[in-house]
Amino acid sequence: MANYGMLINTKKCIGCYACRTACQRQNDLLPDEAFIRFEEREVGTFPRVRVEHVPLQCMHCEDAPCVSVCPTGAAKYGTDGIVEVDQGRCIGCLYCVAACPYQVRVRNSQTGAVDKCRFCTVAAEDGTKMCSCVEACLTGCRIFGDLDDPDSEISKAIVETGAAPIAGDLTKAKIYYVR
Amino acid sequence: MTFEPIWNSIIAWYLFLAGLGGGAYVSAAFLRWRHPEAVNMIRIGRVIAPVVVIVGLCLLMFDATAGLHNPLRFALLLTNFGSVMTWGVVFLGGFTILALIGAGLDLAKRRVPLWLDIAAAVFGVCVAVYTGCLLGVCKTFPLWNNALLPILFLVSAMSTGMAAVLCVAIFRHPEEFNRVGVFKKFHFCLPIIELVLVASLLFVTASNASPAGWESVMNLVGGDCALAFWFLFILVGLVLPTALETWLLFFSPKEFEESRKAHWISFASDAGVLVGGFVLRLLVLVAAMPLTLVVPWY
């Protein structure tokens, strides 16, 4: 069993939103539904300033607050450490949206159910490569892989770059950020 | 990104009505204990309780769009007992059934067993506390994630439940309204306790480790919510009822207290409590700021 995670290098991110668009196409999302949210902020001190783009998406926490609050069991831990939403069980009460500290869960305006980054499990089942956002990124910000395998590209990159979850130990998040 | 509240007025109505319903039944049980002769007021409490809770539940189902489209999914609500909402469904379900039986028996002029009133009152308290715990377990929001909020919601629920019973009694049974002195004195205390709890909640939240706590409190006392907070909640919902009732209960002559004019003043005070109860829920929902937006990854 793998324990999937992702690394996002914001130093390389140019804020082109290609990952978000690719994700929307891959997962057949509505135009107003995006699994990746961008935050921009100014960093540095004048005159050496730049804009940092931070793409945020489901962190697939090992201790996911959404899973513990979901009353119907729609939010659940799937295989390989992926947090899933069973669209057939969700009643759209938005309790998970309130519980998620990263505000990365979105409501599908047609079905009313809540959804979020799936680490492209849909694609994986089809046999194609996982995570279209990784493929789509023009500058190679993103690495997807098995966090439990010390020889995987992502594990090595985390060690090399000192990447860390976005908000410390707020939750046991599996998206690592280089900043 | 500016933060949009996840839940707003529909859920605020639901939280308010669920608390009010629980409080109304507790009022009925209290009246049965201290003022058994006020049979009509007891009936008012027993009838209000299930009606408002059912209205609240309908609002909740209306807000849960995916469930509204597929109603059978609501049965799944009983699958995760680690979730406060699942416990809420148990409490609300139990309470609604007990309160409906109590109201039905009373309206059919049959004797309501004491155990039924006690059980329904206990479930009523559980429902009121649950509305606070529902928000309280969300670690994302410092304004919610503390042990004071469920207590505040409980006190407010009892206060609004009693106010609803008193409001109806003023018009339907003023003779009984004049005789429930102990009930009115308990009702009088609740807004004062609420004031203390709100002040404590604001102080504790403002000094939360995350700036989100401070931002939430500032939203309430000086930001977009300030007018509603100070005017509708603090003044109309807490201070005004306390002032009016202090005067009526302790300083006005007995004859005046039982006059129609005094009844109107009582009505204004109780209506204020109801407005305050709703505004409290709404403000707590919309003023709360999440941890990770105000402290974005520093």
ipTM: 0.91
Q: Which domain range does residue B145 map to?
A: 9-294
- In a domain? residue B224: yes
pLDDT score at B138:
94
SS3 string of B8-39?
CHHHHHHHHHHHHHHHHHHHHHHHHHHCCCCH
- In a domain? residue B3: no
In a mutational test of the B interface, the residue from A38, A69, A91, A170 whose CB has the highest number of chain B CBs within 10 Å is A91
How are the residues of chain B apportioned to helix, strand and coil, as percentages rounded to the nearest 5? 80, 0, 20
Sign of CA dihedral B217, B271, B18, A105: negative
Instruction: Kindly determine whether residue A95 and residue B64, on different chains, have CB atoms separated by under 8 Å.
Output: no
Q: State how far the alpha carbon of A34 is from the alpha carbons of A3, A17, A21, in Å.
A: 24, 11, 8
Q: Is A115 helix (H, G, I), strand (E, B) or coil?
A: strand
* Residues 29-48, chain A, touching B (beta carbon < 8 A): 37, 39, 41
- In a domain? residue B57: yes
Is the confidence at residue B103, as pLDDT, over 50?
A: yes
Is the confidence at residue A65, as pLDDT, over 50?
A: yes
Q: How far apart are CA B249 and CA B186, in angstroms?
A: 11
Is the confidence at residue B293, as pLDDT, over 80?
A: no
What is the average per-residue pLDDT within B89-103?
A: 97
Give the CATH number for residue B259: 1.20.1630.10
Instruction: Give chain B's domain count.
Output: 1
What is the tens place of the pLDDT at every residue in B29-78?
Answer: 999 999 999 999 999 999 999 999 999 999 999 999 999 999 999 999 99
Instruction: Kindly determine whether residue B64 and residue A89, on different chains, have CB atoms separated by under 8 Å.
Output: no
Instruction: Kindly determine whether residue A179 and residue B297, on different chains, have CB atoms separated by under 8 Å.
Output: yes
Q: State how far the alpha carbon of B44 is from the alpha carbons of B37, B58, B176, B263, B275, in Å.
A: 13, 21, 12, 17, 20
> b/e per residue, B217-227, with b = 16+ CB within 10 A?
bbbbeeeebee
Instruction: Kindly determine whether residue B77 and residue A170, on different chains, have CB atoms separated by under 8 Å.
Output: no
Task: Map tokens 């201790």 to a residue.
Answer: A63
Q: Which of A60, A84, A65 is nearest to A145 (CA)?
A: A60
Asked if residue B59 lies in contact with residue B17, where contact means CB atoms within 8 angstroms, the answer is: yes
Q: How far apart are CA A103 and CA A116, in angstroms?
A: 10
- In a domain? residue B2: no
**The architecture CATH gives domain A4-178:** 2-Layer Sandwich (3.30)
* Residues 48-77, chain B, touching A (beta carbon < 8 A): 60, 63-70, 73-74, 76-77
Binning pLDDT at 50, 70 and 90, where does residue A143 land?
Answer: very high
Cα B29–Cα B32–Cα B38 angle in degrees, nearest 5? 125
- In a domain? residue B1: no
Nearest CA in chain A to B65: A112
- State the CB neighbour count (10 A cutoff) for residue A65: 22
Comparing CB atoms, the residue among B64, B74, B297 nearest residue A167 is B297
Is the confidence at residue B295, as pLDDT, over 60?
A: no
**Least confident segment among A41-50, A90-99, B123-132:** A41-50
Q: Is B53 helix (H, G, I), strand (E, B) or coil?
A: helix
What is the average per-residue pLDDT within B87-93?
A: 97
What are the structural domain ranges in chain A? 4-178
